[in-house]
């Protein structure tokens, strides 16, 4: 008798990381499944409360120019309780932003998963830059305690035509290190979430760095052609990007 006949859910588990057909032990799930669930939950919590070593990241990105900024959140606890403060720059950091105009500025923000930035942001950034050689790209901004909308103020301060923020997504129990990319045309304080496009689930078991970069490059060029991003920009990037993007914050 095959394993599929013994376990009818086995074939489905080969195609997804979702927890299906775990079985039961009395009124609960089996011990192994319970322990795996607790481990996944711990990893998700670690991702949320972790910290990115932005100083080391700036060294690895050299000689490319980097700028370090932080939001108005003074602690991780405040960041989780006050999303509004994570959307605005510390005034002193906002005053330091100068330069431009640029076609695009990339922001690497910790968001809700430090692990996502540590594991994937540099590789995803490199793949994007390889596809945008004809554009004037500003300094890479490293943003601490960042929410998605923090990119709007950064892009406005650097006089960028568009901003791309690579940010840690809210961790789940199957992917604690998922990276998201949010593209906003003509960034400025007050932009709505419906005015940006999202490329999500960038991680080793999700969307590849190259696939994400293809989508981001396409979105940027279409944004410049049409003069917008968000719900008005429908993705049709060909074989490199068949799935639609969302327009939602992290």
Q: Which domains does the chain have, with CATH numbers?
A: 49-240 (3.40.50.11240)
Q: CA 55 → CA 67, 86, 108, 141, 188, distances in Å?
A: 10, 20, 13, 12, 27
| Choice between 244 and 51, residue whose per-residue pLDDT is larger | 51
**Helix 54-61 and helix 122-130, axial crossing angle in degrees, nearest 10:** 30
Q: Which of 62-66, 118-122, 136-140, 202-206 has the lowest mean pLDDT?
A: 202-206
Beta-bridge mates of residue 142: 68, 108
Question: Model confidence at 197, in pLDDT bands (50, 70, 90)?
Answer: very high
Whole-number pLDDT of residue 219: 96
Quick one: angle between helices 209-226 and 122-130, nearest 10? Answer: 50
Residue 11 zone, left/alpha/beta (φ > 0; ψ -120 to 50; rest): alpha
Q: Does the pLDDT at position 245 exceed 70?
A: no
Out of 27-41, 163-177, 195-209, 216-230, least confident range: 27-41
CA distance 183 to 162: 7
Q: What is the tens place of the pLDDT at every residue in 77-114?
A: 999 999 999 999 999 999 999 887 999 999 999 999 99
pLDDT for the residue 227: 96
Measured from the Cβ of residue 131, the count of other Cβ atoms closer than 10 Å reads: 16
Query: Tokens representing 237?
Result: 């990037």
DSSP 206: S
pLDDT, residue 5, reads: 58
Task: Reply yes or no on whether the pLDDT at 242 is more than 70.
Answer: no
More confident site: 46 or 229: 229
The model's pTM is: 0.85
Phi, then psi, of 163 in degrees rounded to 5:
-125, 140
Name 18's Cβ contacts closer than 8 Å, sequence gap at least 6. 174
């Amino acid at each position: 008798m095959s394993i599929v006949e013994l376990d009818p859910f086995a074939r489905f588990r080969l195609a997804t990381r979702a927890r299906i057909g775990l079985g039961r032990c009395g009124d609960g799930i089996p011990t192994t499944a319970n322990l795996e669930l607790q481990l996944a939950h711990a990893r998700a919590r670690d991702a949320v409360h972790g910290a990115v070593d932005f100083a080391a990241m700036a060294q690895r990105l050299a000689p490319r120019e980097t700028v370090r900024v932080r939001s108005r959140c003074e602690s991780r606890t405040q960041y989780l309780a006050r999303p509004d403060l994570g959307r605005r720059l510390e005034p002193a950091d906002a005053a330091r932003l100068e330069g431009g105009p640029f076609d695009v500025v990339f922001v690497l923000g910790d968001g809700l998963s430090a692990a996502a930035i540590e594991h994937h942001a540099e590789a995803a950034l490199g793949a994007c830059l390889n596809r945008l050689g004809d554009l004037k790209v500003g300094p890479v901004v490293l943003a601490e305690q960042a929410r998605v909308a923090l990119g709007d103020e950064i892009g406005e301060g650097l006089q960028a035509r568009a901003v791309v923020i690579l940010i840690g997504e809210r961790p789940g129990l199957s992917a604690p290190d998922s990276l998201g990319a949010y593209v906003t045309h003509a960034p400025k304080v007050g932009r709505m979430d419906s005015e940006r496009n999202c490329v999500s689930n960038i991680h080793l078991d999700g969307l590849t760095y190259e696939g994400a970069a293809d989508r981001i490059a396409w979105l940027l060029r279409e944004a410049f052609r049409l003069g917008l991003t968000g719900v008005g920009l429908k993705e049709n990037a060909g074989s490199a990007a068949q799935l639609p993007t969302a327009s939602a914050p992290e």
